[in-house]
Amino acid sequence: MKLNPARRRLVTIGVATVILVAFVLAGSLARVPYVALSPGPTVNTLGTLKGKPVVEVTGGVDEKRSEADAGHLNLTTVSLRDEITLFQAIGMWFSSTYELQPREVYIPAGKTNEEVDQENAEQMTSSEDNATAAALTYLKRPVAVGVRTVADGSPAVGRLEPGDVIVSFAGQPVSTGQELVDAVRARKPGDTVQVVVDRKGGRQDVQVTLGARPEDPSVAYLGTTFKLVSGDPNVKISYNVEGIGGPSAGLMLTLAVIDLLTTGDLAHGKFIAGTGTIVPDGTVGAIGGIQHKIKAAKEAGATAFLVPAENCTEAKDGAPDGLELIKVGKLGEAVDALGALDSGAPRPHC
C-alpha cells in the first residue's frame, strides 16, 4: 500500500519530531561521565569568612590588626560541577570558563560524592596541621606533639584522645614526631608505659599497654597519628575554612600564621594570592587546577600569585596579563619573595 505524498510528509514530520524530542530529552537528561572545572572562590587568609577569622592566632603579636591594613594573602580554589548533562557538556566544551575532565579522576568509581567530600575535608584538616607545623618550624618557635587521631581497636583507645599533647612517653620527653616514633619503637609489644599528656589545660598520667603492629608483630604499636602543635601554651592557632576542602591551601595558611606571629605586614598592603601544599619542613608541593586558580586570583584583584615550582610550566600557559607569577619551592622562598615585592628586589618567576 502506497501512501500519498501528503500522508508521507506527515509521517516524515512525525518521525522527525519523535527523533527530535528523543534527542532533546536525551541531551537534557542524560548525564555524561565528566565533571566541569572552573575558577572557584578566593579567600583572604588574613581576613574573615562568615564573620570569623580565617586564621586565628591567640598569643600572636598582631591579633588586632585590621584586615584593611594587613593586605591580602588569598588562598584560591577550583569549583567542580558534577552530574552535568550532554547539552551542558557541549556548552561548557566551547566555553573559556570551564574545563571538562573524566569524572573518575575526581570521583573514583565505587565512591560516593559524600565520601569524596569527607576525604577532601580530611585533607584540609591535615593541611591546617601542616601549616601550623611549617610556620612554627620556620619561625623556630617551640613545638609539641599533639594527637590527631586514635585508631579503632588500638592500644590508645580509651587512653589517649584527639587533642592531647604528649609531654613524655615512658619517661622520655618528646617534642617532635620522630622522637615519639623512636620512643615507641624502643619498647616491645605488651610493655605498659606511662604517657604524660596535657589535656584541656591539665596534665594527666596515662598508662598504655602497647600492642603489636599488624604488619610486623615484633614492633610495638601505639595506634595514634600525630601533629605538631605550638609548644608555647600561650599560643593557640585555629582555622575557619568552612566549605573548602583538599590540601592546596597549605602554603597560604602557613603565610597567614607567620604574619600573625611576627611584627609587620607580610603582604605589605598588597593583594597577593597563591596556592600549594605544605609539609612541616616547609616544602611547597604541586596542586591541580592551577590555571583556574590564577584566573580566579586575577578576577579578584590580585597583582601577584605564588606558584609551586612544579606547576610553573602549566601556570605560564595562558596566564593573564598584569598578574606576576612568582615561583616558590620552599616556604622561605615565599617569605623572601613577599619582601622582594615590597622592596622591588628581584624574585624568581615562572
Domain ranges of the chain: 37-79+117-140+235-343, 143-230
Q: Which CATH class is domain 37-79+117-140+235-343?
A: alpha beta
Q: For residues 267 and 148, what is the distance between their CA atoms, to the nearest angstrom?
A: 31
Distance set, CA 330 to CA 131, 223, 285 (Å): 13, 31, 9
At the second CATH level, the architecture of 143-230 is Roll (2.30)
Q: How far apart are CA 182 and CA 186, in angstroms?
A: 6
Which residue type occupies 21?
V
Domains 37-79+117-140+235-343 and 143-230 share a fold: no
Cβ burial of 5 (10 Å; 0-12, 13-18, 19+) is exposed
The pLDDT score that the predictor gives to residue 69 is 57
* Type of residue at 68: A
Residues paired with 35 in a beta bridge: 101
pTM for the predicted model, two decimal places: 0.85
Average pLDDT by stretches of 10, the chain with 350 residues: 57 54 49 84 92 88 55 93 79 80 84 83 91 95 93 94 94 89 93 94 92 90 92 90 89 95 88 96 94 95 97 90 96 96 93
* Grid cell at residue 306: 605564588
For residues 82 and 108, the answer to whether their CB atoms sit within 8 Å is no
CA distances from 115 to 93, 106, 112, 128, 239 (A): 28, 12, 5, 20, 22
Alpha carbon distance 90, 40 (integer Å): 21
CB contact at 8 A, 251 and 306: yes
Q: What's the pLDDT at 102?
A: 87
> Taking a C-beta distance cutoff of 8 angstroms, is the pair 326, 302 a contact?
no
